[in-house]
Amino acid sequence: MQTLSICAQSNPGGSPAAAVLPPGDGESGGYRRIALGVEYDGSHYCGWQFQPHGPSVQQALQEALARVANHPVTVHCAGRTDSGVHALGQVVHFDSAAARSERAWLLGTNVHLPADIAVQWVQTVGAGFHARFSALARHYRYLILRRPARSALWHRRAVWTHRPLALPPMQTAARALIGRHDFSSFRALACQARSPVRTLHYLELREHGDLIEIAVGADGFLHHMVRNLAGVLLAIGRGDAPVTWAAELLARRDRNQGGVTAPAHGLYLAQVDYPAHFHLPRRDDGLPGML
């Protein structure tokens, strides 16, 4: 979320495609499937996916992993983030024949990554695991700094507004969006998802001093969906639109009637949920953990 569109399964970096393993324990012909939890500040990247015109998170991660594996590596992600979007809990997987411990993958990869990208955990998984297709739900956070003066420390990490922002009408508006709906009014015009229907499990607004956190989780998200939700809620909080506007837009099912897309730098991919039998680590996806 995008917010985020989901990760394409192409091989944009020109390296050999990841080995396709048969069902089993994650090993075939010496190949193992490895899952990673990745955190990054997206400020200086053109997004997750490899792009010929600028640096991407995918390119940096693949190059670091290849140095540890001693062979080209292609990673597949849970959710492809746009330029400037951050991640606290991105999940990726790749296949490798290299005999490395999970600790060696973790420490070795981080040595070769820039300071604004870091692997948080490594786990060997079965061949049936796929970072994108095995995911059950995704969770995002959108941060708004509400105070008269801009911040040096939250620059590019939260959207600053000097205008008063009323939380109660934003919370009321958000409740009307929870559930299974056609979110056409909240998708990008260029969104390629086959269906605009998604189930929004929760949409909450929380205060942390000067920070307002929009917390949202769903079974999936359309392109720019979270940023469009945030843009509508911001307009309502500022008093530029009535509290009923969010529900009205939802009913219209027309992006041309929607509000402004909120800036990318306030958005974080916080957590991805998977079936319990994969036993993947979970992080505390709440905002206090990153302060």
Q: Which one is catalytic: 41, 82, 95, 273? A: 82
Residues in a beta bridge with 212: 144, 207
Q: Are 75 and 105 in contact (CB under 8 A)?
A: no
Q: What is the residue whose two structure tokens read 């290299």?
A: 98
DSSP state of 8: P
Would you call 82 a catalytic residue per the annotation? yes
Q: What is the distance between the alpha carbons of residues 119 and 108, in angstroms, rounded to a whole number?
A: 10
Residues in a beta bridge with 194: none
Residue environment code for 195-207, b if the CB has 16+ CB neighbours within 10 A, otherwise e: ebebebbebebee
Pick the closest to residue 233 from 217, 250, 218, 220 (CA basis): 250
Q: What is the residue whose two structure tokens read 């730098």?
A: 265
Report the residue count for the chain: 291
Q: What is the distance between the alpha carbons of residues 260 and 277, in angstroms, rounded to a whole number?
A: 41
Q: What is the distance between the alpha carbons of residues 116 and 237, in angstroms, rounded to a whole number?
A: 32
Tell me if residue 236 falls in helix, strand or coil: helix
Indicate which residues carry an active-site annotation: 82
